[in-house]
Amino acid sequence: MTALAVNGKRLWSSLMEMAEIGGTAKGGCNRQALTEEDKTGRELFIRWCEEIGCTLRVDQMGNLFLRMAGSDNSLPPVLMGSHLDTQPTGGKFDGVYGVLGGLEVLRTIYDAGITPKHPIEVAVWTNEEGARFSPAMIGSGVWCGEFDLAYGHARTDKQGVSIKQALESIGYLGTEPCQPFPVKAAFELHIEQGPILESIGKPIGVVKGVQGMRWYDLIIDGQPVHAGPTPMEQRRDPFMAQAAIVSELYALAATHSPWARATFGDIKAEPGSRNTVPARLTMAVDLRHPDQNILSEMDTKFREIAKKHCDKFGLTYEIKDEWNSPAVQFNSDCIDAVRDATEAQGYAYEEMFSGAGHDSVYTSRVIPTSMIFIPCEKGISHNEAENATPEDIEAGCNVLLGAVLKMANA
C-alpha cells in the first residue's frame, strides 16, 4: 500500500451532503443543469475548494475549473472532473463522484503539505446529462470544438429557456473562453453504470476507451391487408423481415462478443390496428463496439442483412442514420498511470471499455484522457436506486490520487 491515501469517510460525507441538494423522496437526486439546485451544488463545491486555497475560473458555457497551484505554474495542469447535474430521478453518484473524488484528492494533497510540480484542477462540466437541455455533454462538447458557442448558448429546455439565459439567471455565464487549454493529463472517476465489475468481484475498472455507437431507424414498407382472410404465404408483412433481421443482428453481436451490443428499443407499426397487417414498420436499431473497424463491419453487415430479408419477403425498406459516435481510444500514458496506481494499491482490476458516453469522450479529442470505474449495485444508474459501497468509493479515489500524483510530478 502507498503511504498517501484519501479520507474515505470525508469523501462519503461530502457525497451525502451534496446529495441533499435536490434530494428526492426515494433517496435519489433531481439537480438538473442550470437550475437553482445546480447553482446551490456549484456554490457548495466552490466553497469547499476555496477552503483549501483553490482558485476559480468560469468559462462561457459555465464550465468550472478549480485550480490548486503547483511548484511550477507555467506547466500545464493535471485535470480531474465530471459533472454535478443529474437526471430528474437520478442517483447520488453519477457524475458527482468524479467531481467530489477530485476534491478529495486535492484535500488529501493539501493535508499532506505536498506541492506537486504541475498545478492540479477539478473541472465541472455543464449539462452532461442532457436531461434539461439537449444534447448531452454540451459543456465539454463546446469546449472541445464539437459544437460552437452560439449553438451551445441557443439550446433551449421545454419551457423555451436557453442555456445562455439559464447561465445568466444563476450567475454562471463566465467570461473565460470556452476552448481547450494545455493539459498534462485528464482523469474522470465514475461509477460503471453497468454490471460487469460487480459480477466479477473487482473494485476497479481501468477504462481503455468508449464504445462506438451507431443509431439507425429501419423503415420497412409492406402491404396492409386483413389479418383473417389473407393467407400467410401471400402477405407482404414487414414483421416477417423484422423478425429475421433482429435474429441475425443478435447473432452478429454474439460473433463479436463480449463487447458488441445490438439493441432494438423502439418499434412502431402503422396503421397500428390489431387485425391489419402493417403498412409500415419503423424499428430503432442501436449497434455498439469499442473497436471502430468492427463497428464499421457491423454497419456493413446490418445493411446486407436488411436487404436480404426485405428482398426475400417482397418488401421495400430504408435505413436512416440517426447518430454516429465513433469509438474512443484513451491515451496510453493516462491508462498506464491508472493501471500503475491500481497495482500500487493492491486492488484487483479489469481492463474494460465504457458502454455509455461521458465528458471524457469529448476531452479525449483534444487532451490526454482516461477514466476509472468502480462497481455500482446491480449496474443500476440514472435511477434513484443507484448505489455504490463506501469501500469502492474510497478505492476508486485512491487510484485517482495515485494517477494524478504520478502525472503531476512527471
**94 known ligand binder:** yes
Can you tell me the mean pLDDT for 238-252?
Answer: 98
Q: For residue 173, is pLDDT > 60?
A: yes
Q: Is 217 exposed, middle or buried (0-12, 13-18, 19+ CB in 10 A)?
A: middle
Q: What is the pLDDT of residue 8?
A: 98
Whether the CB-CB separation of 137 and 83 falls below 8 Å is answered with no
Whether the CB-CB separation of 29 and 23 falls below 8 Å is answered with yes
- Percentage helix, strand, coil for the chain under 3-state DSSP, each rounded to 5: 35, 25, 40
Q: Could you tell me which of 43, 339, 347, 55 has the C-alpha nearest to residue 187?
A: 339
**188 known ligand binder:** no
Domain ranges of the chain: 8-210+327-408, 212-325
Q: What are the φ/ψ torsions at residue 30 (nearest 5 degrees)?
A: -125, 90
What is each CA distance from 118 to 2, 71, 184, 226, in whole angstroms? 21, 7, 8, 73
Can you tell me the mean pLDDT for 384-397?
Answer: 98
Whether the CB-CB separation of 282 and 218 falls below 8 Å is answered with yes
Q: What is the pLDDT of residue 78?
A: 98
Q: What is the pLDDT of residue 325?
A: 86
The C-alpha angle 187, 188, 193, rounded to 5 degrees, equals: 150
Rounded (10°) angle between helices 8-19 and 36-50: 150
Distance in angstroms (rounded) separating the CA atoms of residues 384 and 25: 9
User: What 8-state DSSP symbol labels residue 8?
Assistant: H
Beta pairing partners, 67: 55, 121
Distance in angstroms (rounded) separating the CA atoms of residues 186 and 327: 18
**190 known ligand binder:** yes
What digits encode the pLDDT tens for the residues 292-323? 999 999 999 999 999 999 999 999 999 999 98
Q: What is the pLDDT of residue 355?
A: 87
Q: What is the pLDDT of residue 119?
A: 98
Q: What is the pLDDT of residue 410?
A: 87
Q: What is the pLDDT of residue 356?
A: 85
Can you tell me the mean pLDDT for 160-177?
Answer: 98
For 69-152, strand residue ranges (E) read 78-82, 120-124
Half-sphere exposure of 251 (CA within 13 A, CB side): 9
Residue with the three cell numbers 447520488: 92
Residue with the three cell numbers 453519477: 94
Beta pairing partners, 276: 226
Q: Cell numbers of 110, please?
A: 493539501
**256 known ligand binder:** no
Q: What is the pLDDT of residue 275?
A: 95
User: What 8-state DSSP symbol labels residue 119?
Assistant: -
Half-sphere exposure of 321 (CA within 13 A, CB side): 9
Q: How confident is the model at residue 245 (pLDDT cuts 50, 70, 90)?
A: very high
Q: What is the pLDDT of residue 20?
A: 98
Q: What is the pLDDT of residue 402?
A: 98
What digits encode the pLDDT tens for the residues 64-96? 999 999 999 999 999 999 999 999 999 999 999
Whether the CB-CB separation of 197 and 374 falls below 8 Å is answered with yes
Residue with the three cell numbers 458555457: 61
Q: Could you tell me which of 172, 93, 86 has the C-alpha nearest to residue 131?
A: 86
Q: What is the pLDDT of residue 279?
A: 97
What is each CA distance from 268 to 177, 291, 321, in whole angstroms? 44, 31, 17
Topology of the domain comprising 8-210+327-408 = Aminopeptidase (3.40.630)
Give the architecture (CATH level 2) of 212-325.
2-Layer Sandwich (3.30)
Domain 8-210+327-408 and domain 212-325, same fold? Reply is: no
Q: Could you tell me which of 78, 304, 323 has the C-alpha nearest to residue 181?
A: 78
Q: For residue 2, is pLDDT > 60?
A: no
Can you tell me the mean pLDDT for 276-298?
Answer: 97
Tell me the pLDDT of the chain averaged across its residues.
96
Q: Cell numbers of 50, please?
A: 476555496
Q: What is the pLDDT of residue 1?
A: 39
